[in-house]
């Protein structure tokens, strides 16, 4: 792999609700672009850099899909799809809902 001669910051922009920073890497004999999430610093182009300035559509395709949130109707605990079966286990074990996720009537 060649040596990086310089890096050019192309600033930040919002793509699919995620703020990203685009950086151009200038190599001896070529150029490539990296895209990093601003919130986590994760390089979303780690598997494969872009040879040209990436479009918003190209960047969006590299981002993971947004998490879907679940709020327990009994106690209000919030879980997301990235937490696997945590919400299924929670509903099963929550004292304020029945096993199907329905809130229990207020007990007097």
Q: Which two tokens stand for residue 13?
A: 């922009």
The model's pTM is 0.61
Taking the C-alpha atoms of residue 26 and residue 46, their distance in angstroms, rounded to an integer, is 16
Taking the C-alpha atoms of residue 92 and residue 87, their distance in angstroms, rounded to an integer, is 9
Write down the domain spans for the chain: 4-62, 67-108
pLDDT tens figures, 13-29:
999 889 999 999 999 88
Cα 38 to its chain centre, rounded Å, is 11
The residue ranking higher by pLDDT, 7 or 70, is 7
pLDDT at 108: 43
The residue ranking higher by pLDDT, 7 or 98, is 7
Tell me 52's DSSP state: S
CB contact at 8 A, 106 and 73:
no
- For 26, 71, 86, 105, the CA distances from 11, given in Å and listed in that order, are 16, 36, 37, 53
Q: Which two tokens stand for residue 73?
A: 């109707």
């Amino acid at each position: 792999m060649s040596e990086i001669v310089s890096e050019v910051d192309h600033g930040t922009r919002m793509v699919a609700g995620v703020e990203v920073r685009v950086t151009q890497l200038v190599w001896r004999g070529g150029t490539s672009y990296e895209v990093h999430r601003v919130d986590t610093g994760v390089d979303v182009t780690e598997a494969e850099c872009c040879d040209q300035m990436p479009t918003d559509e190209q960047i969006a395709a590299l981002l993971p899909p947004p998490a879907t949130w679940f709020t327990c109707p009994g106690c209000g605990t919030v879980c997301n799809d990235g937490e696997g079966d945590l919400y299924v286990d929670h509903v099963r074990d929550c004292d304020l809902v029945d096993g199907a996720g329905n809130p229990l009537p207020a007990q007097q």
